[in-house]
Each structure stands twice: as C-alpha cells, then as structure tokens.
C-alpha cells in the first residue's frame, strides 16, 4: 500500500503508514491505565506481541471497512497516537470513529485537529458516508469535549451497552451527520 501523509500543524501530521518499527511507540504510550480504562479493545499491559497482533489484524482488514491513521511528530516521525474509522459492510453509510493520544500530548487541542482531518479524508474516500458515530464511556468527559469541538451532537445514553472488566458500562453516543 502506498503511504499518504496529511499535515495537521507545526507539531504533528497523520499518515496511513504503520510498520513493526512503530511497535515500541505503541508499547511506550499504550502502557497507560487511563487509555486502557477509556477504550474497549486496547490491552493492558500492552506488549510487543499485542502490537504485532494489531498490525496483522489491520493488514487483514479491507480499506473499504477500516481506515487507520497514525499521529506522528514532525520533529522525528515518532508515533504518538492514532485515529481510525471502522464501518460495517452491512451499512457503508455509517462509520464509528476511535482515537487515542499518548498522555504527554494531552490538553493541547491536538486530537480535535486530527479528527477533523480524518473526517475530511473519510468523506473524500467513502463517498456514500453520511454518519460518523463516537461511543464514549460515561466518565470520559475529555473525549466528549473533543467530539463536541468537532461538531458531533450528543444523541443519548446507551445504558449498559458495553461489558468490560465485570462492569456493564453506560455509553454516551455522539454522531456527526455529513451534509
């Protein structure tokens, strides 16, 4: 696959490039209990093996269903986060968005800029897309704020939608409708 690079600002860019050389960055940033607590599928502790499995999984996914972008520093190309879209083959008009950023880079307004760019790419490449959903655990106020800053609308609380670590978790459902 050819790699594409999209500029975000003076500090970061995003790209669809992801190789095994990025696994140390996954291990460095995803060994974080807050990221684990706020997401559904990221393991904790996060091992090199988890990184290898994830890269294999992504390679097995079709570009028609999954787009995954790594967030990298302009200064040295280090991977510091990720943002992806996943849509069901049964309804290509709808996609879910997921994202994480390494903790040293939080609270600087980076993720809203990344999400806006990923949505622009998704819109261009998946012409029939009309709805982007974000499903956020009820305690994750920072993530809610991020999607609000990107124009998403709160649609309601999906009670006990997710089961994780023996807990049934209420999820706040947000969506952006593409006009």
Ligand X SMILES: CC(C)(COP(=O)(O)OP(=O)(O)OC[C@H]1O[C@@H](n2cnc3c(N)ncnc32)[C@H](O)[C@@H]1OP(=O)(O)O)[C@@H](O)C(=O)NCCC(=O)NCCS
Phi, psi of 102 (to 5 degrees): -60, 140
Smaller CB distance to ligand X: residue 14 or 136?
A: 136
Smallest distance from ligand X to CB 165, Å: 16
Smallest Cα–Cα separation from 157: which of 179, 140, 177?
140
Half-sphere exposure of 50 (CA within 13 A, CB side): 15
Kindly state whether residue 110 participates in binding ligand X, applying the rule CB under 6 A.
Answer: yes
Kindly state whether residue 82 participates in binding ligand X, applying the rule CB under 6 A.
Answer: no
Helix (H) or strand (E) holding 91: strand 91-101
Among 88, 106, 156, 177, binds ligand X (CB under 6 A): 106
CB distance 100 to 42 below 8 Å: yes
Q: What is the chain's Cα-based Rg?
A: 16
Kindly state whether residue 23 participates in binding ligand X, applying the rule CB under 6 A.
Answer: no
Kindly state whether residue 77 participates in binding ligand X, applying the rule CB under 6 A.
Answer: no
Smaller CB distance to ligand X: residue 18 or 101?
A: 101
Q: Measured between alpha carbons, how far is 31 from 42 in angstroms, rounded to an integer?
A: 10
Restricting to residues 34-53, which ones interact with ligand X according to CB under 6 A?
34-35, 38-39
Place of tokens 């974080």: 32
Kindly state whether residue 107 participates in binding ligand X, applying the rule CB under 6 A.
Answer: yes
Among 15, 47, 66, 140, binds ligand X (CB under 6 A): 140
Residues that bind ligand X (CB under 6 A): 34-35, 38-39, 99-101, 106-112, 136, 140-143, 145-146
């Amino acid at each position: 696959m050819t790699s594409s690079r999209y500029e975000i600002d003076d500090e970061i860019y995003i790209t669809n490039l992801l190789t095994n050389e990025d696994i140390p960055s996954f291990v460095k940033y995803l060994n974080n209990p807050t990221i684990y607590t706020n997401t559904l599928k990221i393991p904790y502790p996060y091992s090199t093996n988890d990184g290898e499995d994830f890269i294999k999984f992504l390679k097995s996914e079709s570009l028609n269903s999954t787009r995954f972008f790594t967030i990298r520093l302009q200064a040295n190309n280090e991977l510091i986060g990720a943002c992806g879209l996943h849509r069901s083959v049964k309804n290509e008009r709808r996609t879910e968005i997921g994202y994480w950023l390494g903790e040293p880079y939080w609270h600087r307004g980076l993720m809203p800029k990344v999400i806006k760019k990923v949505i622009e790419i998704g819109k261009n490449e998946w012409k029939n897309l009309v709805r982007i959903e974000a499903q956020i655990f009820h305690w994750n106020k920072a993530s809610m704020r991020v999607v609000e800053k990107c124009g998403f609308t709160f649609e309601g609380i999906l009670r006990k939608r997710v089961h994780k670590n023996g807990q049934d978790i209420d999820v706040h459902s947000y969506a952006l409708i593409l006009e």
